Structure 1
Amino acid sequence: MGNYNRFWRWHFYAALFITPLLITLTLSGIGYLFYTDVENRAYADLFFGKSSKTETLTVDEGIKQARDQFDGFAVSKVIMLDEPYNTRLTMKNAAGEQKYVFLDEQNQTIGSQDARYTFSNVMRETHSSLFVGGTVVNYLVELAATWAIFLLVSGLYLTFKGRVWKQSPKLSPRQSKKKRHAIVGTIITIPMIIIIFTGLPWSAFMGDFIYTASQKYPSLGQPQVEALTSDMSEVPWATRKNEAPASTDAHAHHGGMNAATELTNESNRLPIEQLMQKIEEARISKPYSIVYPGSDDGVYTVSKSSNTGVTGLDVSPYEEMTAYFDQYSGRLIAQTGYEDYGILAKWFTWGIPLHEGHLFGWANKLLNTVVCLAFLLVIFWGIKTWLSRKAEKQEFAPPKVSSPISFGFLSFVVVLGVIMPLFGISLLVVALIEGILHITRGKRGRTA
């Protein structure tokens, strides 16, 4: 019984500490599953509305009009969507604040949104960083996700080791709740682990580790291009932090200018209208996003992604593509598509939209919702079981284990620690605390 009680004790304490986080992550995750449906209705006037003005402007004139209207804000992205969606501009000011501005089919301004408080961004920020942000919070969220894996797997062990399904039909209320907790938890273990693992590419610690590995080994990720990093959310996960090529046509098209101050003049940059012609010549169809160059030798980054977080912009994983155009001539410099990805990049290109609930339409949303609701039920029954245990005046926690840690238990936690490094680090911290407490108790005992 040593291993059983040890798993039970760890399962209990892990659940006790991370349950509030798991409930928050699950509820915000359910909300995010339906963000496109919510936004299509809540923001219909911006997404599909028309201006009362009948004059037709070019895209560049529409962009200028928006820039004049929102003083202090500059356009950083242009998102071209399929009909009936309006064109969406992302505008940013010196303080880092963002607005989404919408242009109708005449490129007239319809209205704007504060980017921070759109439904999709609120759900995503709550889900990934509790709407607080910061490295510590991101690590805390990731830690909860990795410990949830431990809860699910250890729960599986406890269910089969304890032969829960063979218990007598005449059960006490506490035993009945425990049985439901165990059986439903067992049923959702595999789908829940898949949902958690397909969300880890966005995590702070493990996500960076996965991405670094995919870039270091092209057969896992995809080939690098050249200089300038990007962290734009509309760019595919597989190329989001890629180094992009530089615009090399500045001197040829602008009289050999050398001063960087001269090259920052937007009049030297290819207008969006002409860039769109170059994009069409490259056989890139809507929807796509255009990210402005970040420097004088930067490039226009044009992308199609399966995990943008923008209503109307997601495409099939097969259609993912990132292309780089010279900002002065519009020359296509480099292009990376799904077919260029390695095994890991391809796996996550499918996994992320599966996690977000739009890989295979409504069936995906409903499946994820059912699994998440079942997970909340498992948490609910777990809490009820514990409260029943207290009501019956049993011990607050499962009994302490005096037997040495078995090789099987140690192997299990080591394997999980290697697969999920942040989980492994947290285990070392727990072991250190336990060691300090053990030494302290020993000293107290000798003193007494």
Structure 2
Amino acid sequence: MKKGFYNRFWRWHFFAGIFIAPLLITLTLSGIGYLFFPEVENQLYDDLFFGDSESNEQLTIEEGIEKVEKDFHGFAVTKISIMEEPYNTRLTLTDEAGEQKYVFLDEQNQIVGSQNAANTYSNVMRSIHSSLFVGGTPVNYLVELAACWAIFLLISGLYMTFKGKILTRKANGSKNFRNKKLHALIGVIITIPMVVIIFTGLPWSAVMGNIIYTTASNNAPELELNPPTSDINEIPWATRQEETPASDDPHAHHHGGSSQSEHNEFMISVGQLIDEVESENISKPYSIVYPSADDGVYIVSKGSNSGVTGLDVSPSEEMTTYFDQYSGEYIAAVNYEDYNLLQKWFTWGIPLHEGHLFGWPNKVLNLVVCLAFLFVIFWGFKTWLSRKKKDKFSAPPKNFKGLSIGFIVLMVLLGILIPLFGISLIIVALIECIVIFVKKNKE
């Protein structure tokens, strides 16, 4: 039975590696690309981020926004990212079809230039990493499934390394054993940091992300109204789906309480809002999200995982503040201190995953772990090829003599902890049963 336990681990480890290796390589390479997006974008978009327009005329922020919306007909400003110097202010514009553009204003609030949001380096890397640049629910599930099975690969590899005493056995001179030993050694070294990286990335996933957020939201601060939409990157992850309080709309009867009006005539100006923000001692950088309805509010937030170059802050500085869109009155705020334990954990975990929690050492650590992971994948294939017989697949031996209690307990625990993995595990088990049935009928 013990040998059967080992062989089953080996077989599932082998086939999982064969099928998901292309996905894991894609996710790892795109993750490395995203790791350095601030440094890359500071160079690629130097003129937009730090440059000046040709005009020296000083405009107010409202005049700048009005000019932008006039020049970009069909688009409306929905977010404003107020950066620390030397970064320019970034406006996010959205049209009725949901397409977005970024427009940058200099110190005079004059237009410096614009970008198509979907084509920026950070958004391209993020799109590849989260949805393989294809998008859609099935693809998102596939990406999450690859991450889940990567955890199984690491755990099963760890078990086989120590159970098979690969690291302590004397070299027998064979090339296959040397390859296996190196594959196992690097795998053992990176198991813990790689599992941490994978788990801290799961809050953005489809199934586990919703489960984590729902669990984290228990006993969290509850604010009433419409939740902010999921594509508002500047709102911190911990409060991104929280309901927001409503503005007291004394003018609703003037415009019939219409469903959505980002720029109705009764709203306070952005300049007035910025004065209110400063009076609340909210320092740069921060983002301003326009109200999404007549009874909506201005959302002013500081996030540690905004995905915007120059906008991230330390997790302990995170805050989401709400201001009445008509009076500018401060309504409420959710600060880092208000988060529950799980929210705080992922507020620190996400920037750790993205590589900017503790500066360059974080980036270097993540880079080394990712490169080592790629090496483990490559060396795993090399190990297989070194023992593969010509014209044969040379998969690990089948073992259908039953399952040990330890194996069942481990699979059930992983299936409960990672539901998508559990579902796929049931499918794999059914396939194994079909293989057994077919084999018995042929005998």
Q: TM exceeds 0.5?
A: yes
> Which structure 1 residue ranges, 5 or more long, are not aligned?
none
1:170 deviates by 4.5
- Give the CA deviation at 1:257: 3.3
**Does the 8 Å CA contact 2:298/2:323 hold for their aligned counterparts?**
yes
Counterpart in 1 of 2:257? 260
Mapped to 2, the partners of 1:174 and 1:66 lie a distance apart of 64
Is the partner of 2:388 in helix, strand or coil? Answer: helix
Tell me which residue corresponds to 1:343: 341
Equivalent position of 2:86 in the other structure: 84
2:247 alignment partner in structure 1: 247
In structure 2, relative to structure 1, the CA distance for the partners of 1:89 and 1:258 (3 Å cut) is closer
Equivalent residue, structure 2, for 1:44: 46
Q: Aligned partners of 2:343 and 2:384: how far apart in 1?
A: 42
What is the CA deviation profile of residues 329-352 of structure 1, one whole-angstrom value per residue up to 9, with x for unaligned ones? 111111000000000000000000
Q: Deviations over 1:98-141 (max 9, x none)?
A: 00000000000000001001110011111111111111111100
Per-residue deviation at 1:180?
Answer: 0.6
Q: For 1:362 and 1:261, locate their aligned partners in 2 and report how far apart those are by CA, in whole Å.
A: 48
Deviations 1:332-376 (CA, angstroms, capped at 9, x unpaired): 111000000000000000000000000000000000000000000
Partner of 2:355: 357
CA shift for structure 1 position 390: 1.6
Paired-residue identity, %? 61
Q: 2:59 aligns with which of 40, 57, 60?
A: 57
Distance in 2, matches of 1:257 and 1:103, equals 33
Taking structure 1 as the reference length, the TM-score comes to 0.95
Q: CA deviation at 1:35?
A: 0.2
Looking at structure 2, the residues matched to 177 and 143 of structure 1 have their Cα atoms a distance apart, in angstroms, of 28
1:35 aligned partner, one-letter code: F
Q: RMSD of the alignment, in Å?
A: 1.6
Aligned to 1:322: 320
Deviation at 1:20, TM superposition (A): 0.2
Partner of 1:237: 237
User: What amino acid does structure 2 have at the position aligned with 1:206?
Assistant: M
Give 2:118's aligned residue: 116
How far residue 155 of structure 1 moved from its aligned partner, in angstroms, is 0.2
The SS at the match of 1:402 is coil
Pick from 180, 185, 189 the counterpart of residue 187 of structure 1: 189
Is the 8 Å Cα contact of residues 140 and 205 (structure 2) preserved in structure 1? yes
Contact 1:49 1:104 in 2 (8 A): yes
Are the aligned partners of 2:236 and 2:319 in contact in 1 as well (CA < 8 Å)?
Answer: yes
Letter in 2 for 1:238: A
Separation in 1, partners of 2:171, 2:9: 25
Bigger shift: residues 63-72 or 167-176: 167-176
Q: Is the 8 A contact 1:278 1:330 kept in 2?
A: yes
Q: Deviations over 1:24-82 (max 9, x none)?
A: 00000011110000000100000000011000000111011110111111111000000
* Residue correspondences, number: 438
CA contact (8 A) 1:229 1:244 kept: yes
2-side partners of 1:317 and 1:291: how far apart? 20
Find the partner of 1:280 among 275, 278, 285. Answer: 278
Q: CA deviation at 1:440?
A: 4.3
CA distance in 2, matches of 1:144, 1:16: 12
User: Given that residues 287 and 304 in structure 1 are in contact (C-alpha distance below 8 angstroms), is that contact kept between their aligned partners in structure 2?
Assistant: yes
Which residue identity does 1:239 align to in structure 2?
T
Aligned match of 2:170:
168
| Structure-2-length-normalised TM-score | 0.96
The whole-number CA distance in structure 2 between the counterparts of 1:3 and 1:103 is 63
Judge conservation of contact 1:306–1:314 (CA < 8 Å) in 2. Answer: yes
State the SS of the aligned residue for 2:30.
helix
3-state SS of 2:167 partner: helix
Counterpart selection for 2:141 from 139, 142, 160: 139
2:403 matched to which residue of 1?
405
Deviations 1:383-439 (A, max 9, x none): 111111225777620000132111111111111111111101111122223334444
Choose which of 127, 130, 152 in structure 1 pairs with 2:129. Answer: 127
Cα distance, 1:86 vs structure 2:
0.2
Amino acid at match of 2:256: A
Q: Does the 8 Å contact 1:257/1:263 carry over to 2? A: no
The 8 Å contact of residues 171 and 177 in structure 2, kept in 1 or not, is answered as no
Residue number among 291, 294, 300 corresponding to 1:293 in the alignment? 291
In the other structure, the counterpart of 2:75 is: 73
CA contact (8 A) 1:389 1:395 kept: no
2:188 and 2:111 map into 1 onto residues whose CA distance is 53
Match of 1:415 in 2: 413
Secondary structure of 2:216 counterpart: helix
**Quick one: which amino acid aligns to residue 293 of structure 1?**
P
* Maintained 8 Å contact 2:252/2:294: no
Aligned partners of 1:302 and 1:2: how far apart in 2?
Answer: 58
Q: Which residue in the other structure is 2:388 paired with?
A: 390
**Corresponding residue of 1:332:** 330
Q: Return 5+ residue gaps in structure 2 as ranges.
A: none
1:438–1:123 CA distance, 2 compared to 1 (3 A): same
Distance 1:407 1:170, change over 3 A: closer
Secondary structure of the structure 1 residue equivalent to 2:80: strand
Worse-matched range after superposition: 345-354 or 169-178: 169-178
Give the letter for the 2:35 counterpart: L
SS in 2 for 1:260: coil
Q: Quote the offset at 1:169 in angstroms.
A: 3.4
Task: Give a deviation string over 1:279-324, Cα, whole Å, max 9, x none.
Answer: 1111111100001111111111110000000000000001000011
Return 203-212 or 427-436, whichever deviates more.
Answer: 427-436
